[in-house]
Amino acid sequence: MWCVLRGWRQGRLGQRGAVAWQQPPGVRALASAGPESRGEFGYVVVGAGSAGCVLAGRLTEDPDQRVLLLEAGPKDMYVGSKRLLWKIHMPAALVANLCDDRYNWYYHTEPQPGLDGRVLYWPRGRVWGGSSSLNAMVYVRGHAEDYDRWHRQGAEGWDYAHCLPYFRKAQSHELGASRYRGGQGPLHVSRGKTNHPLHQAFLQAAQQAGYPFTEDMNGFQQEGFGWMDRTIHKGKRWSTACAYLHPVLSRPNLKAETQTLVSRVLFEGTRAVGVEYVKNGQRCRAYASKEVILSAGAINSPQLLMLSGIGNADDLKKLGIPVVCHLPGVGQNLQDHLEIYIQQACTRPITLHSAQKPLRKVCVGLEWLWKFTGDGATAHLETGGFIRSQPGVPHPDIQFHFLPSQVIDHGRVPTQQEAYQAHVGTMRGTSVGWLKLRSANPQDHPVIQPNYLSTETDIKDFRLCVKLAREIFAQEALAPFRGKELQPGSHVHSDKEIDAFVRAKAESAYHPSSTCKMGQPSDPTAVVDPQTRVLGVESLRVVDASIMPSMVSGNLNAPTIMIAEKAADIIKGQPTLWDRDVPVYKPKTLSTQR
């Protein structure tokens, strides 16, 4: 049965009677729904994740704009109450989300030739807040040069001068506003503040290795090591659902639906007029008088475009999907950050291994539930840094996160002993992949092929990651805690042995991007223009990490939120914010790496 979402009065949705199912795309099926059903919503936003929640909050600031927000997963709180789901909102419980398919798409890649044929696990958020409800809450913007590169790659108006104001607009930093920080935005950001001796020793060791301390890696100087910003507020995860969606749910011009799997965009010719989705076993339709906006992420947005007939025409025809627009860049240009864990045994019982014993876990949980304080109020990734791998590199290309514990199999295997580790990986890898539809069934996960370590450059750079991380761990500041090296292990010395270790142990940092690349219409690989409009069709946009022309040098959540803030102004027709000539650190010389 079809059900047509026509708006609401006093909280009730109207439905039409049964209409025969027809295969996409369906001008005839669209007509059978009746013209009176169209235009009940101005905007239909697909995906209540890191970008979709931002759009829902910003677009409904205008009471005359009616917005429907569709999310495939559940709410991030108990149904019928305002109580929090502790798994999501307790920062230290983040591993529980990564391993729970109730809130997670649970994707996997194809076997990777560059990683000994391994299939990698890709968790992605399927819940209000999306991946901002599952991630490690690290708030990193990337380097100013990343955005200037976007501009050069065809994303005009997305240079650092035009992006920084939107980072500030989104943010409410606990340290207050500055030229780089926002002070009044909905996204609360706090600075790492632990007194844990391992974090202190790691920062000292990095300086002993010759790297600078940076006061704010999201400010003037990314390069160096320091305390990281986190999307944690008063001891709780502060996702985009907390920041942008929950405060506006009472607005009469917003309707937020959960457990709705969108299967395609509806077109009238080449104009997007709505979406089809499945809810409670019924096929439903919702119509947009202005635009359909896909904010489903770097995997689901290109998948949905292809299911709707937008993509490589030859591939779509093979699956029996009628072509609306031949756009071969859809699903191409897939980029992700790969990382490895350098693990060291700790000679003192001060790591999170001790905190994970049953009685201690109960105490940690009770303190958090009672006061939102203690070890449960942080994800423990509080220090990190960015460095240049070698002379000649203009801005940092390697990132570190430090953790006073060990992670095994994405946290699905408990820690085995007292240990600490550095997550280290390259920021601008040259290996590029793709994703394609597995079938015309929206419930089938797409084929994900990242092509990790498919270039010699990436292999060499990861060799440097291992060597540079080991150098930091060998410094005097960590000597009081240093046990044997657990990973790679003291038996791994030569380049050949290091390469083998990387192939066997590297994992995704969970940062897929660029599968609906933003660029100029003249670029055959572009999918959206700099106004986020899908090329070749009308009234359809993509707003999420998939439109990044290339990866940024850091975690992707903060840039995704910025993208949505900037896109909201574009959609609303407001003047673009701009802050020119903001100073950014540059190394005095490129002849050395530090």
**Rounded CA separation 377/527 (Å):** 40
Digit-by-digit pLDDT tens for the chain (594 residues) are 344 443 332 332 332 222 223 333 333 333 334 333 455 899 999 999 999 999 999 999 999 999 999 999 999 985 555 556 888 999 999 888 888 788 999 999 999 999 999 999 999 999 999 999 999 999 999 999 999 999 999 999 999 999 999 999 999 999 999 999 999 999 999 999 899 999 999 999 999 999 999 999 999 999 999 999 999 999 999 999 999 999 999 999 999 999 999 999 999 999 999 999 999 999 999 999 999 999 999 999 999 999 999 999 999 999 999 999 999 999 999 999 999 999 999 999 999 998 788 888 889 889 998 999 999 999 999 999 999 999 999 999 999 999 999 988 888 888 889 999 999 999 999 999 999 999 999 999 999 999 999 999 999 999 999 999 999 999 999 999 999 999 999 999 999 999 999 999 999 999 999 999 999 999 999 999 999 999 999 999 999 999 999 999 999 999 999 999 999 999 999 999 999 999 999 999 999 989
Q: What integer pLDDT is reported at residue 84 of this predicted model? A: 66
pLDDT the model gives residue 15: 29
Can you give the pTM of this predicted structure?
Answer: 0.93
Same domain for 466 and 413, yes or no, is yes
User: First and final CA of the chain: distance in angstroms?
Assistant: 64
pLDDT of residue 92: 92
Please tell me whether residues 45 and 166 are part of one structural domain. yes
Is residue 113 one of the residues assigned to a domain?
no
The reply to whether 242 and 266 lie within a common domain is yes
In a domain, 414, yes or no: yes
Does 209 share its domain with 248?
Answer: no
Same domain? For 280 and 343 the reply is no
Residue finishing a domain among 473, 488, 505: 505
Q: Is 401 annotated in the active site?
A: no
Query: What does the pLDDT read at residue 11?
Result: 32
Position 173 scores a pLDDT of: 98
Q: Does the residue 553 lie in any domain? A: yes
* Shared domain check, 152 and 268: yes
- Report yes or no on 77 lying in a domain: yes
**440, part of any domain:** no
102 and 35 share one domain: yes
- Per the domain annotation, does 435 fall within a domain? no
CA separation for the pair 54, 169 (Å, rounded): 12
584 part of a folded domain: no
Whether residue 413 sits in one domain with residue 365: yes
For residue 5, the model assigns a pLDDT of 45
* Alpha helices, H only, 70-193: 86-89, 94-98, 144-152, 160-170
Whole-number pLDDT of residue 83: 59
CATH code for position 203: 3.30.410.40
Residues 534, 476, single domain; the answer is no
Domain interval for residue 218: 193-227+338-426+453-505
Inside any domain, residue 94: yes
Please tell me which residue in 199, 233, 380, 511 is annotated as part of the active site.
511
Domain count, the chain: 2
Does one domain contain both 322 and 463?
no
What is the secondary structure of 372-421 as a DSSP string?
A: S-GGGG--S--EEEEE-SSTT-SS--EEEEEESS--BGGGTB---SSEEE
- As to burial, measured by CB atoms within 10 angstroms (0-12 exposed, 13-18 middle, 19+ buried), residue 568 is buried
DSSP, residue by residue, 20-81: ---PSS-HHHHHHT-GGGTTSEEEEEE--STTHHHHHHHHTTSTT--EEEE-SS--SB-TTS
CATH number assigned to the domain comprising residue 11: 3.50.50.60
Residues 343 and 320 in one domain: no
**Same domain assignment for residues 22 and 74:** yes
